[in-house]
Amino acid sequence: MGTQTIRISADSTCDLSPALVSRYHIAIAPLQVIVAGKPYLDGVEIDPDRLFSMVEKSGKLGSTTAVNFEEYLSFFRAQRQDFDAVIHFTISSEMSSCFQNACAAAAELENVYVIDSRNLSTGIGQLVLDAAEMAEAGTDPREIVRRLEEKKAKLDVSFVLDTLEYLRRGGRCSTVAALGANLLRLKPCIQVTEGAMGVGKKYRGSLEDSFLHYVRDKLAQPETVDPGRIFITHSGVDPVLVEKVKTAVQACVPFREIYDTRAGCTISNHCGPNCLGILFYRK
């Protein structure tokens, strides 16, 4: 019997660039973004720039809804027509019902494996690319799932916010709301820990100073960092500033791969514009 063909898929919250999605043949299940009462498919019918523009005009924050059971069932069936197995990654079950819905749909089919990333954005993307590389190498799907269930605990995922307004209005991070209005002068680091978002260090000063200080803090112990791959993911930061962040990253740890990716609508809707994070593995 030959090697099984495996489709790697993920929710749109993985924030992988179109180039990476194409290169690794990733299937994407889009969440819905609802703006002014109208639903749009994340990354298909709406992009973050349009989202920010609509929010600014209406003064009302958009909202996001999980991929539902029927949508997942249809999505998985389509993938299974062409592949022997599907391995799907969802945003953290602490943040959305995507994982629960995907598991219910997967239970209706054979050889569909669902992994709760316990993460968001390119934290999920890291797992997705690892799975795609293993699938290309002919690794058995169960072994891919086993390895990544172990590896996801090593992810270091955080981002620095320029504005708290989106998280506060979205009610997504109660700890942020609890910090009170005095924080509006600061740029807090949001860290994903055990599947949930919490507030880490708070930076003072310009956006550039805050980002560079944050990078040096996160990569201060290079011996603990896996130098394989890092994502610099942002919600529309000035490219000149992103380049400076990239230079700072390289000065701290000589990563073999550095990807600059733009956060999709689901993530951007909660973090607002000018948010940036670095997402990598610890050893």
SS3 letters for 222-238? HHHECCCEEEEEECCCC
The rounded average pLDDT for each run of 10 residues, N- to C-terminus, in the chain (283 residues) is 83 96 97 91 93 86 92 98 97 95 98 97 98 96 96 96 73 53 71 90 91 97 97 96 98 97 91 94 97
- Predicted pLDDT of residue 178: 45
Taking a C-beta distance cutoff of 8 angstroms, is the pair 87, 9 a contact?
yes
pLDDT of the residue at 171: 60
Give residue 204's pLDDT: 85
What pLDDT does residue 2 have? 54
Q: How far is CA 179 from CA 158, 168, 186, 272, in A?
A: 18, 10, 11, 18
pLDDT of 181 reads 39
What pLDDT score was predicted for residue 21?
97
pLDDT at position 267, please? Answer: 86
pTM over 0.85: yes
pLDDT score recorded for residue 214: 98
Residue with tokens 């997705």: 128
Structural domains of the chain, with CATH: 6-34+64-153 (3.40.50.10170), 154-281 (3.30.1180.10)
Sheet of strand 38-41: strand arrangement: 38-41, 32-35, 63-65
pLDDT at residue 61, as a whole number: 82
